[in-house]
A and B are shown apart, each in its own frame.
Chain A
Amino acid sequence: MFDGVLQALLQGGLLGGYYAIIAAGLSLMVGVVRFINLAHGDMAVLGAMVTITLTEVGGVPVLWSIMIMLPAMALMGWVMHATLFQRAMRGGFLLPILVTIGLGAALQNGMFGLWGSNTRSLGASIGELSWASWILPGGIILGKLPVLIFVTAVVVIGALHLMLKKTKLGRAIRATASDPEAAEMCGVSSRQAHRAAAAIAVTLAALAGVFLAMRGQVTPYSGPAQLIFAFEAVVIGGIGSLGGTLIGGMVLGVSQSLGGLISPQGSLLAGHLVFVSVLIWRLSRDWARDHGGWRASLAISAIKLRRRLTGGAPAPDRAPSSKGAA
């Protein structure tokens, strides 16, 4: 039993690496560009499909396929932002949602047209990596591929963090995220910064897609589920925080694998439940902060509840603020 839990914790934590990579791209778009790309998961699948095709049809070694595919996807992200997202953003809050839902549907159907609906995988192309593992003391099994994915996630997120902190482009992207107009006053083209962020986001999605296809199978319609996982990791980790996406991804992965111990169907459900709990906790924490801390806000709720139950006696609407510091 204990071994099972340990095994699940370890596997879930490593799975978090995959979630972190796909979530980092989404988080970057939300935090910097203030744009929600609902086709993010479909772009991950597209990255996987292109890599599989290059490898299986073109006979290109897997690593080379990935090296060719990633810059191509970056370019696609850049062009997509310049031609589509940027215009959509000018049309209010609804248009970006509609445009990216439409884009997602177009990508799914396009991939279906090109590659059919069969499940595909990179597992066969990476040889023993797909099943090789280390046996730790106590009989714990540690898959080499999950470890590779997790290490990649840490390296990629660390590199992205350094890029944002230490480079000219990174500073320009952060300045644009904080105040696009003030960034322009410093000579930064906010459009270029947004396009660069979109290119990075799509590249991250595509990389995650490759890992998805290495770990298991993908179909042209796998994208939306991945989008949801990415969203959950972003929300759990805190929007706009890169380190947070790594933690969010691991929390999601661990919840899923622990849920899987309870019942086979429990895996996804546990992930969603943790996501919803974190969301509710965040919202009520913010509400409490706006009402003078937990104690004061609970006092307000208690007073309101009592008033409703007793049907009347007017009570002070605000708890004494001196008690409310939390």
Chain B
Amino acid sequence: MMTRLIVENLTCRHGLLTAVRDVSFALRAGEVLCVIGANGAGKTTLMNAIAGTHRPVGGRIALDGVDVTAQPAFARVRSGIAMSPEGRRLFADMTVRENLLIAAENGRAGDWTLARVLQAFPQLRPLTDMPAGRLSGGQRQAAAIGRALLTNPVVLLLDEVSLGLSPAAVEGVYQSLAMIKEARTTTMVVVEQDLTRALGFADQVLCMAEGQTELQGMPGHLSREQITDAYFGIHDKELSDV
């Protein structure tokens, strides 16, 4: 199967601070990558760079073999990369339906319709005419993921999936995501703070610390210690023989 998303030696800065340094990975269609790492590790910056809202200073991003590094964010959505951003970023004074419509109108054509999103996130059904600013955290997250899906992405980026949600809400979101994963058509990059969740859901994990890749691989091939060490940025002697 062809490689869907390639990220190669990506480097991003905020002013003088290098927030992402030399990060690379490749994902096939339908594959799921979970990005883990402590606060400030550079996860959001990486996601923004892939989505096109942050200009990287080095490296390249390719979708289905086409270099999209120079494309602005809206053009990437039309190429098939969509993101549910950190903080959800819904249009607060517009209704949930309008939030979803905007994505549907300006994204790609495809299987995801308003009806199907409301089926995947039933909690949104009674809320469609409510201003998005009045939603609870969990409802907001559902609306933000639904909005990203309505652009019919081939690569779906989800930042902070479970942040601020109750265990039940997290479970609900992951059930919906599991349905999308089953279909094996949408490639996903998910930032998840909950290690157990991340390891359970991902085909690949990428652990970042201070902008660098500390550990990368398939969850089945990594030990829990390796992952926690990488998470806390503990370097040991074997690091050189990767």
Contacts and interface: CB of A to CB of B under 8 A. Distances in A.
Contacts of B91: 174-175, 178-179, 182-183
Interface residues of A, number: 17
Contacts of B205: none
B68 to A, nearest CB: 14
B147 interface: yes
A172 B90 CA distance: 13
A168 B98 CA distance: 10
Interface residues of B, number: 29
A174 B107 CA distance: 17
A186 B94 contact: no
Given A181-B53, A187-B103, A187-B107, A171 B98 contact: yes
Contact of B51 (A174, A185, A188, A190): A185
B52 interface: yes
B53 A188 contact: no
Contact of A181 (B73, B98, B101, B107): B73
Interface string B52-84: 110000000000000000001111011000110
B185 interface: no
A174 B89 contact: no
A128 interface: no
B92 interface: yes
A173 to B, nearest CB: 11
Given A171-B101, A175-B102, A187 B74 contact: yes
B213 interface: no
B93 A186 contact: no
Contacts of B78: 187
Interface in A154-189: 168, 171-172, 174-175, 178-179, 181-189
A183 B53 contact: no
Given A171-B98, A187-B108, A189-B72, 13 more contacts: A168-B106, A171-B101, A174-B93, A175-B102, A178-B92, A183-B102, A184-B52, A185-B77, A186-B77, A186-B103, A187-B77, A188-B102, A189-B75
21 contacts: A168-B105, A168-B106, A171-B102, A174-B94, A174-B98, A175-B91, A175-B94, A178-B92, A178-B93, A181-B73, A182-B91, A183-B102, A184-B52, A184-B72, A185-B83, A186-B106, A186-B151, A187-B107, A187-B151, A189-B72, A190-B74
Interface of B: 51-53, 72-75, 77-78, 82-83, 85, 89-94, 98, 101-103, 105-108, 147-148, 151
Interface of A: 168, 171-172, 174-175, 178-179, 181-190
